[in-house]
Structure 1
């Protein structure tokens, strides 16, 4: 259960989506920018499903990934998602004529979150680390579930407030919030599902 076989395709597609959104934002093509952001989210979600689905379908008693290995794989995608959004914020609000005074601030905050995920992955990759213990993994799974609900509430507010149709310069940021938030919600749900399946299987 690893991203390694599909990583070149994944990174190439995400880079293409990033360039497409940057070019669309440069020309203030909001629909095209939204499509590029949607492609990013779709690629991330499909990658997570393709990586986790074999564990869901594996028959009882068959060998497979451990909860730690499964969490590591999907957390990698979550880190990539945050990193993609951070780079997009910087590219759009520092590299185009689209202006929003908080663009670089949100970009930096999201970059720090990506960095925190990278640090967590480094520790999770070590089976002897405290972060790799079953109780620590269960805490992270619960955190993923809470994260999904909180981001979901934020996206409901974002959509209901009408900010996606704004004429201000934060239109691109709102598209990134929507696409990135939806991707993280799906990844969090996948983490919860896979951990539940693997934990039950290992218990039996």
Structure 2
């Protein structure tokens, strides 16, 4: 069998978290907004874990998932993370009284990254595409590892900088940076772990 993330349930809960983030931010309720952002992160990380964890078991030979398919599945979740953050930035800084001059810029940048991931997923879904070769998949996994390390460094800086306690209009943005960064970092680590497990199994 092959594993896929439960998209209808996942999209519904992500939409609920987005609405909750908007309402909390509109009411300038920082704790509630942080909880909504954390819920988004937890939902996607759990989805990534539940989809990939069966592939990490030694007795997973009955799961017909290739490294390319595994990469596709988790990259889809990363795409959803960027898309959710983009929509959240738009909702917060264009739909509420909260103001931060860079809000729409980061929203647009994240939307472009999400679109880029969507195009990559479309190509990766074709087993004959150039991005679907074992070497190309291996390079994508290496990029995921680099991404995880880079984001980890960024999150450490964000936490140590004290920006999470900002009283300026960027407080919601910092919450989104933390939640989104944490999500993409964890999903990137999952990509690396799954690829290593599948490679080890095929080498036996």
Using the size of structure 1 for normalisation, the TM-score is 0.97
For 1:2 and 1:68, the matched residues in 2 are separated by 13
Specify the alignment match of 1:48 in structure 2: 48
TM-superposed deviation, 1:2: 3.9
For 2:61 and 2:162, the matched residues in 1 are separated by 50
- C-alpha contact 2:89 2:107 (8 A) present in aligned 1: yes
Bigger mean CA deviation after superposition, 52-61 or 152-161: 52-61
Which aligned pairs between 1:73-112 and structure 2 lie closer than 5 A? 73-112=73-112
- C-alpha contact 2:82 2:180 (8 A) present in aligned 1: yes
Specify the alignment match of 2:166 in structure 1: 166
For 1:74 and 1:54, the matched residues in 2 are separated by 14
Which aligned pairs between 1:25-174 and structure 2 lie closer than 5 A? 25-59=25-59, 61-174=61-174
Alpha carbons of 1:60 and 1:105: their partners in 2 closer, same or farther (altered >3 Å)?
closer
Superimposed CA distance per residue, residues 114-170 of structure 1 (whole angstroms, 9 cap, x where no aligned partner): 011001000100000010000000000000000011111111000000000000000
- C-alpha contact 1:56 1:194 (8 A) present in aligned 2: yes
For 2:126 and 2:17, the matched residues in 1 are separated by 33
TM-superposed deviation, 1:54: 1.2
- C-alpha contact 2:54 2:60 (8 A) present in aligned 1: no
- C-alpha contact 2:25 2:98 (8 A) present in aligned 1: yes
TM-superposed deviation, 1:93: 0.3
- Structure 1 runs, 4 residues or longer, greater than 2 Å off: 1-4, 60-64
Matched residue SS, 1:139: helix
Instruction: Quote the RMSD (CA, aligned, Å).
Output: 1.1
- C-alpha contact 1:55 1:64 (8 A) present in aligned 2: no
- C-alpha contact 1:93 1:100 (8 A) present in aligned 2: yes
TM-superposed deviation, 1:62: 4.2
The answer to whether the aligner puts 1:3 opposite 2:14 as a matched pair is no
For this pair of structures, how many residues does the alignment match?
Answer: 203
Any stretches of 5+ residues in structure 1 without a counterpart?
none
TM-superposed deviation, 1:203: 1.7
Any stretches of 5+ residues in structure 2 without a counterpart?
none
TM-superposed deviation, 1:3: 3.0
TM-superposed deviation, 1:60: 6.5
The answer to whether the aligner puts 1:18 opposite 2:24 as a matched pair is no
TM-superposed deviation, 1:194: 0.2
